[in-house]
């Protein structure tokens, strides 16, 4: 794909998608999604371009960015003024990427002519604490606390049979582990279905590592477990969370993902909802780990019957309407949220996670063209709404 260079006259209004710099050419991932955003912007009469934090020239208040030209099917490199609206889609895997991002975000927030489409949620624990203070949601949240040391986990396991460990800032099920006490020395009971087959082991661990590879281990005693976990976690901030039995009758892990977004009038709407079903034996249900997606209504009806499924869907839709406004009132402007709900084997709903930089691949898996297009168009429409508010 060719890349050409062109200067844009100062003063043009534009929406900039800020993303993480990579070694690719153009220097960013997720080009299919960003291409669709650029085309959506053209249909809406807006200039949408993609840039990375190191591409900002703070002296000239300009940025080198890429916009997509559909006529030539190519990315075009241009020099833009700082965009009026920034859509933050940065994800980082290195400290350098994070440092570049934090510096750029701080400078953009300080600049009077730039508005962020959304003030991203800081992490899972922040969301947990915000929602715990709201009586409407407190009972729907699994018990969660920070993993301050391996002693925190040891004390947890003394009182509970299992614990879920998850990175505070992780996504796609990467780095999530289930630790269970087994039936060996120090263990209280046999491992649950789906765990590693380790007869006599005191503890078992299963899940995925930071590269999304499967992990299955067994340990003879707590000391061996904690030493291994200390190396696995390293210096990354982790959470301890209550284990919930969120699986289908066939034993597959699943959750319900709802995508809620603001539209061109600044109002929240439910763009779509789907069940994400994990690969056989998987701890998490994320499609990036080999899982699948299917319509929520059909799946829940098979699991719980039509009447219970209809009741669950009504409640899931009600919570999807309440959660964005509740979070926004305590956090600041948000544009879209991916809400992950769990439904346990008893038919109880749980709020698992809320992500302010959600993916939308579930609609591709479902072949839901209408929801897929709306999921791309809504951020652009909301950016247009913010630009109108400034006129």
Instruction: Check residue 290 and give left, alpha or beta (phi > 0: left; psi -120 to 50: alpha).
Output: left
Per-residue pLDDT tens digits for 244-263:
999 999 888 899 999 999 99
Same domain, 188 and 288: no
Same domain, 182 and 302: no
Same domain, 266 and 334: yes
Question: Is the bond preceding 26 in cis, omega lying within 30 degrees of 0?
Answer: yes
Q: Please give the model's pTM, rounded to 2 decimal places.
A: 0.88
Strands 177-181 and 292-295: unpaired
Last residue of a domain, one of 73, 100, 116: 116
Last residue of a domain, one of 224, 241, 258: 241
Judge whether residue 128 has pLDDT over 50: yes
Domain count within the chain: 3
pLDDT grade, residue 171 (50/70/90)? low
Cβ atoms within 10 Å, residue 72: 11
Q: Are 336 and 118 in contact (CB under 8 A)?
A: yes
Same domain, 102 and 65: yes
What's the domain range around 265? 124-142+246-390
What b/e sequence results for 149-179 when a residue is b if at least 16 CB atoms lie within 10 Å of its CB, and e otherwise? Answer: ebeebeebbeebebbbbbbeebbbbbbbbbb
Taking residues 14-34, report their average pLDDT: 94
Same domain, 263 and 381: yes
pLDDT score of 10: 38
Same domain, 378 and 267: yes
Last residue of a domain, one of 241, 276, 310: 241
Same domain, 182 and 102: no
pLDDT grade, residue 197 (50/70/90)? very low
Same domain, 67 and 33: yes
Percent of the chain with pLDDT over 70: 88
Question: Encoding tokens for residue 112?
Answer: 């009077």
CATH number for 30: 3.40.50.20
Taking residues 77-82, report their average pLDDT: 95
Judge whether residue 9 has pLDDT over 70: no
pLDDT score of 3: 47
pLDDT score of 2: 47
Same domain, 262 and 383: yes
pLDDT score of 191: 40
- What gap in Å lies between CA 261 and CA 204, rounded to an integer? 40
pLDDT score of 362: 87
Rg (CA), the chain: 22
pLDDT score of 109: 92
Of 4-13, 146-155, 324-333, give the lowest mean pLDDT range: 4-13
Average pLDDT, the chain: 88
pLDDT score of 185: 37
CATH number for 350: 3.30.470.20
Same domain, 179 and 305: no
Same domain, 271 and 135: yes
Across the chain, where does the E strand assignment appear?
3-7, 14-19, 47-51, 56-57, 62-69, 74-81, 85-89, 115-116, 144-146, 162-167, 177-181, 203-208, 214-219, 238-241, 254-262, 268-277, 292-295, 336-343, 349-355
Same domain, 260 and 382: yes
Q: How far out from the chain centre does Cα 380 lie?
A: 19
């Amino acid at each position: 794909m060719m890349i050409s260079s062109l200067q844009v006259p100062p003063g043009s209004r534009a929406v900039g998608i800020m993303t993480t710099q990579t070694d690719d050419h153009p220097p960013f991932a997720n080009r299919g999604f960003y291409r669709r955003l650029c085309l959506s912007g053209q249909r809406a009469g807006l200039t949408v371009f993609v840039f990375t934090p190191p591409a900002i020239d703070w002296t000239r208040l300009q940025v080198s960015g890429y916009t997509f030209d559909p006529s030539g099917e190519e990315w075009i490199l241009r020099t833009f003024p700082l965009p009026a609206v920034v859509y933050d889609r940065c994800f980082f895997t290195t400290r350098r990427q994070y440092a570049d991002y934090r510096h750029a975000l701080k400078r953009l927030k300080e600049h009077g002519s730039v508005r962020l489409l959304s003030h991203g949620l800081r992490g899972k624990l922040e969301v947990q604490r915000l929602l715990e203070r709201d009586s409407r949601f407190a009972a729907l949240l699994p018990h969660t606390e920070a993993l301050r040391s391996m002693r925190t986990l040891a004390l947890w396991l003394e009182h509970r049979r299992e614990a879920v460990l998850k990175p505070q800032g992780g996504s796609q099920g990467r780095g999530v582990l289930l630790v269970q006490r087994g039936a060996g020395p120090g263990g209280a009971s046999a491992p649950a279905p789906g765990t590693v087959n380790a007869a006599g082991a005191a503890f078992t661990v299963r899940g995925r590592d930071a590269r999304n590879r499967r992990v299955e281990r067994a340990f003879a005693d707590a000391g061996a477990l904690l030493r291994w976990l200390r190396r696995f976690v390293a210096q990354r901030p982790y959470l301890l969370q209550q284990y919930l039995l969120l699986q289908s009758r066939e034993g597959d892990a699943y959750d319900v993902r709802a995508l809620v977004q603001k539209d061109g009038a600044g109002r929240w709407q439910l763009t779509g909802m789907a069940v994400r079903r994990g690969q056989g034996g998987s701890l998490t249900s994320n499609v990036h780990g080999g899982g699948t997606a299917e319509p929520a209504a059909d799946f829940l009806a098979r699991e719980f019957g039509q009447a219970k499924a209809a009741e669950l869907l009504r409640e899931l839709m009600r919570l999807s309407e309440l959660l964005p406004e509740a979070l926004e009132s305590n956090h600041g402007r948000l544009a879209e949220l991916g809400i992950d709900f769990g439904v346990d084997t008893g038919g109880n709903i749980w709020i698992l996670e809320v992500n302010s930089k959600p993916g939308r691949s579930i609609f591709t898996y479902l072949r839901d063209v209408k929801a897929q297009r709306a999921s791309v168009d809504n951020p652009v429409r909301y950016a247009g709404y913010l630009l109108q508010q400034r006129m």
